[in-house]
């Protein structure tokens, strides 16, 4: 129970850091993501990977921060221009692509991992379209995460740059 609570906390921090990384792209987000994932890896008895995660992703975040610093970039005062809205077509295309991917991922993982080693009976309909639909219907959390990701990314994405 305690382990599950710890995992939920680490996972929430990791997903929040991922959302921030995609939304605002700050240089510190990968570091927070790496630390949270290191906690998850410790829970899954991958201590070496926890160290590698913090070292590799953390070092990358540090370099990105240095590269991005105003002193190095020579950015003028006032910051970047505010992002504008995306087109409806682009959002619809990405939504369709992500939904299809979730569909495939859930079906594949359900067959590969949840029912590992179980032989399918001849003529079984498992893994076919109705089965995948049922699997998705049974994973409302994943569907919710996918929906939130698409909506949040669409809401915060910037427009194509204007060219003169």
Q: At its nearest, how many Å lie between another protein and the CB of residue 51?
A: 9
Asked whether the beta carbons of 63 and 55 are under 8 A apart, the reply is: no
Q: At its nearest, how many Å lie between another protein and the CB of residue 158?
A: 5
Pick the closer one to another protein by CB: 123 or 160. 160
Phi, psi of 92 (to 5 degrees): -65, -40
Q: At its nearest, how many Å lie between another protein and the CB of residue 77?
A: 10
- Tell me the three state secondary structure of residue 45: coil
Pick the closer one to another protein by CB: 91 or 131. 91
Q: At its nearest, how many Å lie between another protein and the CB of residue 134?
A: 17
- List Cα–Cα distances, 98 to 15, 75, 127, in angstroms: 17, 35, 19
Residue 133 CB: number of other CB atoms within 10 A? 13
Pick the closer one to another protein by CB: 1 or 121. 1
Pick the closer one to another protein by CB: 62 or 131. 62
């Amino acid at each position: 129970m305690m382990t599950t609570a710890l995992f939920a906390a680490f996972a929430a921090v990791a997903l929040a850091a991922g959302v921030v990384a995609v939304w605002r792209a700050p240089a510190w987000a990968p570091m927070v993501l790496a630390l949270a994932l290191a906690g998850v890896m410790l829970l899954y008895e991958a201590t070496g990977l926890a160290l590698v995660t913090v070292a590799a992703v953390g070092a990358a975040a540090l370099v990105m921060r240095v590269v991005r610093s105003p002193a190095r970039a020579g950015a003028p005062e006032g910051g970047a221009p505010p992002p504008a809205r995306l087109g409806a077509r682009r959002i619809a295309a990405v939504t369709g692509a992500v939904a299809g991917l979730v569909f495939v991922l859930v079906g594949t993982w359900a067959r590969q991992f949840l029912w590992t080693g179980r032989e399918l009976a001849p003529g079984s309909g498992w893994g076919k379209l109705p089965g995948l639909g049922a699997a998705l219907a049974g994973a409302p959390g994943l569907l919710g995460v996918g929906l939130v990701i698409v909506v949040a990314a669409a809401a915060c994405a910037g427009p194509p740059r204007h060219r003169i």
